[in-house]
Amino acid sequence: MGFSQDNEVETIGIVDRREDALKRVKKWINSDKIVMHILDIEDKENTKKLMKQYDVGAVVLPNRRSSYKVVDTAINAGFNIVDILEEYHRRPDPYEIEGLEIPDGMPSNEYGEWLHKKAIENNVTFVDGIGFAPGLTNITLGEGIRKMDRAESAIARCGGIPAKKAAGKHPLKYMITWAFEYVLREYMVKVEVIKNGKIVEVSAMSDLEKFKFAKLGKNEELECAITSGMPSFLFTRSQLKECAEKTIRWPGHWEGIRTLKECGMLDLMPMEFKGMKIAPVSSYCLL
């Protein structure tokens, strides 16, 4: 909403497939600068044409499949963008590459450098991982490292937890604040972290840690465990002997998730069910 009050901003375009969603956003912002665009981002040509009408864009899509498409289209269109999703374009996550269109014969670990060079050639500024986590996490952690003479360990603790009273009404002590399918999926994948100065692969939800948060007038017992996030730190902060991102939850959440995991309810691999192939985690999200 702040941009709508900036005198240097002439027009703010908002994009969605649904007109009703656009109307709600326009009403909420309440500015004459807002222009609605009904568009399906699968239509790359029309998406590219629209991008050429603006100077910069913010990508706030819910999943990687959509984000990969928009980022590729934007760089080809010469359009500067900021993406709130994870910083995975330079180093695509081998376990979560749905929607990633890699040129024939190119290994996925070379995709990021290829995309980077293409952005430079097209004079495009592209910044990803600028949401809550990563975003606030990698920026503040990176700034902390820069202010220290020497840094050996960098652990980001983050997570969207609900108010304690609200959490107490739910068995997993959690309320849906993000795309829930991807929350559950991040509990199942392998994660690269730095341990003892080396990049190693560990299971998500490992290294469970209990800690007390006694800041800002709060005094709460919390728990956190390793999940995917901030992968660029593995390569840009090579001096670190330890680096990982841990997601914070209320006590009891991780125990409940571990039970679901052990029962196979969160498995990512599809299985046969009444003549159909369905991944247990997908059916769980539909319940």
Question: In the chain, what is the greatest distance between 2 CA atoms, to the nearest angstrom?
Answer: 61
Overall average pLDDT of the 5-12 stretch: 84
Residue 100 amino acid letter: L
Same fold, 3-127 and 153-286: no
Q: Which CATH number fits domain 3-127: 3.40.50.2000, 3.40.50.720, 1.20.1250.20, 3.30.70.1150?
A: 3.40.50.720
Overall average pLDDT of the 6-23 stretch: 90
Query: Do the Cβ atoms of 22 and 16 come closer than 8 Å?
Result: yes
**Ordered alpha helix ranges (H), 230-271:** 233-236, 253-262
- CA angle, 227 as apex, 194 and 210 as ends, to 5°? 90
Look up the pTM and report it. 0.79
Q: What is the pLDDT of residue 286?
A: 41
Whether omega before 134 lies within 30 degrees of 0, making that bond cis, reads: yes
> Tens digits of per-residue pLDDT, 163-196?
889 888 888 898 877 777 778 878 888 889 999 9
Of 237-241, 264-268, 280-284, the least confident:
280-284
Name the most confidently modeled range: 72-81, 125-134, 224-233: 72-81
The distance in angstroms from the start CA to the end CA of the chain is 35
131, burial (CB in 10 Å: exposed 0-12, middle 13-18, buried 19+): middle
Q: Which fold has domain 153-286?
A: Dihydrodipicolinate Reductase; domain 2 (3.30.360)
Overall average pLDDT of the 13-19 stretch: 93
Q: What is the pLDDT of residue 285?
A: 47
At which residue do the structure tokens 């649904």 appear?
18
Cα(113)–Cα(16) distance, integer angstroms = 30
Q: Which residues are CB-contacts of 283 (< 8 A; sequence separation ≥ 6)?
A: 273
Rg (CA), the chain: 21
Burial state string for 227-263 with b = 16 or more CB within 10 A and e = fewer than 16: bbbbbbbbeebeebeebbbbbbbbebbbeebeebbee
**How far is CA 220 from its chain centroid?**
26
Query: Do the Cβ atoms of 269 and 191 come closer than 8 Å?
Result: no
Residue 123 C-beta-side C-alpha neighbours within 13 Å: 1
> Tens digits of per-residue pLDDT, 114-145?
888 999 999 999 988 888 877 888 889 999 99
Cα(220)–Cα(214) distance, integer angstroms = 7
Any idea where the domains of the chain sit in the sequence? 3-127, 153-286
Of 91 and 255, the structure prediction assigns the larger pLDDT to 255
Overall average pLDDT of the 20-34 stretch: 92
Overall average pLDDT of the 76-93 stretch: 81
